[in-house]
């Protein structure tokens, strides 16, 4: 029996037998297969600041003596490292990827006592990269991860080879549609408190979500709901953070890092008008806008997103 047929047979057997853990087993194994195809492996470590990290990193072949450039990929609010897997798969073998779950997210330290502002998260990520003995790297961040990338470039410009801002916060020009929902609703659509509310989160985040079985979405929703209290704390810190409102503050013009601004034209959270503002304020920036794509281009259109970054990173090599 072919491996993929065997996998489906085992999966169906579990379901037919009424195994309560079948969906979780299928979810974990499906995600593991995605990571393996992308050449990524799970790692855990504790840094000197006490953060217990979970991250995905490129597999290292002992026979490969090529020094690949390191790339730090930073997910957005209420997301985790898995958002970047399909993007990394498109570039597998070309770069050494470090893709952490941020503190407050995924399987990394999540508490109500941490400071989740952009500067604090940037400092922690610089500590992580130091613990991995990576002194210089490209960095790219989506949404909140973009604002953290900007903070990293401010704190340690000598370590950042280039910067990618993917539907990035920082200027944080929210769409009128999203501002109205936040003003009128008692709950944030980006913070599901029940598993079924994650369907709404996906509709806000993506124009065309990649196909996922229904039980995958259910499990993801359950995970998000279990972390809702911490997500509310993170959101509160973001709303009070000057690092989320850098426009016209003479901060961005001081950043000389080569920058690619990648945006989905159909972003319902941070409108495409952010692009022109970033280009105006960042001295060494260029932009790529993807039609028909929402707030998370690296997950919605991993091939097109990877093509844009491949060309950009090649030009940004030291």
Q: From CA 224, how far away is CA 307, in angstroms rounded?
A: 31
Confidence tier at 294 by pLDDT (50, 70, 90): very high
Cβ(138)–Cβ(94) below 8 Å: no
Whether residue 255 sits in one domain with residue 111: yes
Domain that holds residue 25: 1-37
Per the structure, how many domains does the chain have?
A: 2
Please name which of 62, 56, 13 lies closest in space to residue 37, comparing C-alpha atoms.
Answer: 56
Q: What pLDDT, in 10s, does the model give residues 98-152? A: 999 999 999 999 999 999 999 999 999 999 999 999 999 999 999 999 999 999 9
Give the pLDDT mean for 210-232.
Answer: 90
Name 301's Cβ contacts closer than 8 Å, sequence gap at least 6. Answer: 264, 290, 293
31 and 118 share a domain? no
In this structure, the answer to whether residues 133 and 200 fall within a common structural domain is: yes
Same domain, yes or no, for 82 and 105? yes
Query: What is the spatial distance between Cα 100 and Cα 46, in angstroms, rounded to a whole number?
Result: 12
Calculate the CA 261 to chain-centre distance. 15
Cα–Cα distance measured from residue 295 to residue 270, given in angstroms and rounded to the nearest whole number: 7
Higher pLDDT, 14 or 143: 143
Higher per-residue confidence, 37 vs 26: 37
pLDDT digits (tens, 9 = 90+) for 148-196: 999 999 999 999 999 999 999 999 999 999 999 999 888 899 999 999 9
Q: Has residue 16 got a pLDDT over 80?
A: no
Residue 104, pLDDT score: 98
Q: What is the CATH number of the domain that holds 118?
A: 3.40.50.1820
What pLDDT sits at residue 67?
80
């Amino acid at each position: 029996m072919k491996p993929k047929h065997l996998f489906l047979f085992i999966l169906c057997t579990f379901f037919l037998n009424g195994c309560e853990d079948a969906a979780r087993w299928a979810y974990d194994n499906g995600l593991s297969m995605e990571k393996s195809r992308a050449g990524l492996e799970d790692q855990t470590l504790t840094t000197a600041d006490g953060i217990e990290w979970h991250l995905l990193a490129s597999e290292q072949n002992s026979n490969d003596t090529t020094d690949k450039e390191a790339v730090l990929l930073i997910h957005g609010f209420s997301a985790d490292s898995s958002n970047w897997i399909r993007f990394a798969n498109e570039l597998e073998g070309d770069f050494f990827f470090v893709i952490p779950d941020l503190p407050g997210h995924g399987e990394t330290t999540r508490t109500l006592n941490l400071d989740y502002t952009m500067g604090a998260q940037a400092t922690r990520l610089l500590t992580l990269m130091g613990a991995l003995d990576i002194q210089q790297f490209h960095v790219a961040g989506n949404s909140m991860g973009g604002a953290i990338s900007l903070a990293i470039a401010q704190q340690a410009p000598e370590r950042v080879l280039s910067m990618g801002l993917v539907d990035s916060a920082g200027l944080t020009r929210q769409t009128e549609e999203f501002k109205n929902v936040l003003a009128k609703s008692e709950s944030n659509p980006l913070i599901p408190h029940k598993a079924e509310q994650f369907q709404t989160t996906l509709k806000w985040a993506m124009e065309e979500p990649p196909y996922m079985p229904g039980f995958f979405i259910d499990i993801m929703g359950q995970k998000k709901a279990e972390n809702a209290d911490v997500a509310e704390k993170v959101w509160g810190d973001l709303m009070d953070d000057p690092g989320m409102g850098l426009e016209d503050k003479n901060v961005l013009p001081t950043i000389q890092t080569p920058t690619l601004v990648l945006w989905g034209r159909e972003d319902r959270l941070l409108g495409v008008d952010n692009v022109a503002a970033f280009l105006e304020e960042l001295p060494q920036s260029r932009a790529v806008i993807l039609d028909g794509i929402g707030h998370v281009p690296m997950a919605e259109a991993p091939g097109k997103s990877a093509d844009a970054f491949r060309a950009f990173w090649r030009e940004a090599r030291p």
